[in-house]
Amino acid sequence: MSEVLLKVSGLTMKFGGLLAVDQVEFDVKRDEVFAIIGPNGAGKTTVFNCVGGFYKPTTGDILMDGKKINGLPSHKVAQQGLVRTFQNVRLFKNLTVLENLLVAQHTHIETRLLPGLFKVPSYRRSEQEAQKNAVDWLDFMGIRQFANREAGNLAYGHQRRLEIARCMITRPRLLMLDEPAAGLNPQEKRDLQQLIDQLRKEFGVAVLLIEHDMSLVMGVSDRILVMEHGKPITIGLPADVRVDPRVIKAYLGEE
Q: Which stretch binds other proteins (CB under 8 A): 2-10, 107-115, 207-215, 241-249?
A: 107-115
Angle formed at CA 50 by CA 18 and CA 1, multiple of 5 degrees: 145
Interface with other proteins, residue 74, by CB under 8 A: yes
How does 74-105 read in b/e, with b if 16+ C-beta sit within 10 Å? eeebbebbbbbbbeebebeeeebbbbbbbebb
CA 112 to chain centre: 29
Q: Is 107 in the site for other proteins (CB under 8 A)?
A: yes
Q: Is residue 147 near other proteins by the rule CB under 8 A?
A: yes
How far apart, in Å, are the Cα atoms of 110 and each of 45, 105, 222, 234? 34, 10, 38, 46
Question: Interaction with other proteins in 2-61: which residues (CB under 8 A)?
Answer: 15-16, 45, 49, 52, 54-55
Taking the C-alpha atoms of residue 202 and residue 137, their distance in angstroms, rounded to an integer, is 13
Applying CB under 8 A, the site for other proteins has a residue count of 45
Piece in contact with other proteins (CB under 8 A), picked from 22-30, 154-162, 165-173, 235-243? 165-173
Burial of 237 (0-12, 13-18, 19+ CB in 10 A): exposed
Least separation in angstroms between residue 12's CB and other proteins is 15
Binding residues for other proteins (CB under 8 A):
15-16, 45, 49, 52, 54-55, 73-75, 78-79, 83-84, 86, 90-96, 98-100, 102-104, 106-107, 109-111, 113, 116-117, 127, 130-131, 135, 147-148, 166-167, 170
